[in-house]
């Protein structure tokens, strides 16, 4: 069977396993557990527009999760079906950021493409952060000034309470020759952010806001 889940969908399923673990640890009421399982299956199956019988069989195994060990086993069995992020090379990065002549690319060989919804890294030498995201099966590049915050906050991309910083990108204004700055708070650590993302809407909105 071909991979059929995105990283964000995998993360969502992972969050559902935690709900089941919590339910089993707090109640022995079979009716409550049965309801939790039904809700989990319904939410997980709704991630896929028209799941095949094989896909359903894989996803419905979530009902076997009672504790952390069960969750790890289920998620491990699910991992081969995660679609990797579009391949990124140093040439890709150069093409997406042609004006950043001395850009330091991340160690691409160390990145598990199945565990990211976007590629993000910080160039501390220039105080800039770079983001590569997929929009309509096409890679889009964003870069902007990144100022780390001393306090935790809500990340615009993953909607979780994490160590954040202000990402500010400069885009063309409505009048020729003018520029405006747009941005918001995002996670300092892009890999933590990627592990938190359970849907792509906020990421898509962020990219669109900074590209138009």
pLDDT digits (tens, 9 = 90+) for 14-38: 999 999 999 999 999 999 999 999 9
Under the banding of pLDDT at 50, 70 and 90, the label for residue 173 is low
What is this structure's pTM?
A: 0.92
Q: Which CATH number applies to 7-81?
A: 1.20.1280.250
Under the banding of pLDDT at 50, 70 and 90, the label for residue 181 is confident
Domain ranges of the chain: 7-81, 90-211
3-state secondary structure 45-95: HCCCCCCCHHHHHHHHHHHHCCCHHHHHHHHHHHHHHECCCCCCCHHHHHH
Measure the CA–CA gap between 187 and 182, rounded to whole angstroms: 16
- pLDDT tens-digit series, residues 115-170: 999 999 998 888 899 999 998 889 999 999 999 999 999 999 999 999 999 999 98
Sheet architecture: strand order including 128-135:
118-123, 128-135, 138-154, 161-172, 179-187
Residue-averaged pLDDT of the chain: 93
**pLDDT at residue 65 is higher than 70:** yes
CB 50 within 8 A of CB 40: no
């Amino acid at each position: 069977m071909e991979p059929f889940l995105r990283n964000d969908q995998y993360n969502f399923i992972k969050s559902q396993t935690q709900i089941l673990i919590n339910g089993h640890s707090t109640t022995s009421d079979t009716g409550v557990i049965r309801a939790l399982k039904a809700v989990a299956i319904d939410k997980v199956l709704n991630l896929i527009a028209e799941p095949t019988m094989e896909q359903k069989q894989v996803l419905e195994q979530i009902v076997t999760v009672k504790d952390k060990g069960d969750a790890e086993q289920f998620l491990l069995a699910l991992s081969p079906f995660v679609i990797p992020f579009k391949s990124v090379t140093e040439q890709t990065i150069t093409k997406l950021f042609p004006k950043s002549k001395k850009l330091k690319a991340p160690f691409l060989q160390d990145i598990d493409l199945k565990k990211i919804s976007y590629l993000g890294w910080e160039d501390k030498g220039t105080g800039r952060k770079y983001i590569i995201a997929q929009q309509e099966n096409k890679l889009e590049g964003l870069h902007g000034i990144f100022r780390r915050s001393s306090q935790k906050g809500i990340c615009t991309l993953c909607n979780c309470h994490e160590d954040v910083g202000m990402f500010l990108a400069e885009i063309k204004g409505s009048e020729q020759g003018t520029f405006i700055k747009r941005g918001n708070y995002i996670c300092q650590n892009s890999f933590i952010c990627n592990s938190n993302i359970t849907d792509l809407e906020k990421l898509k909105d962020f990219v669109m806001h900074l590209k138009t």
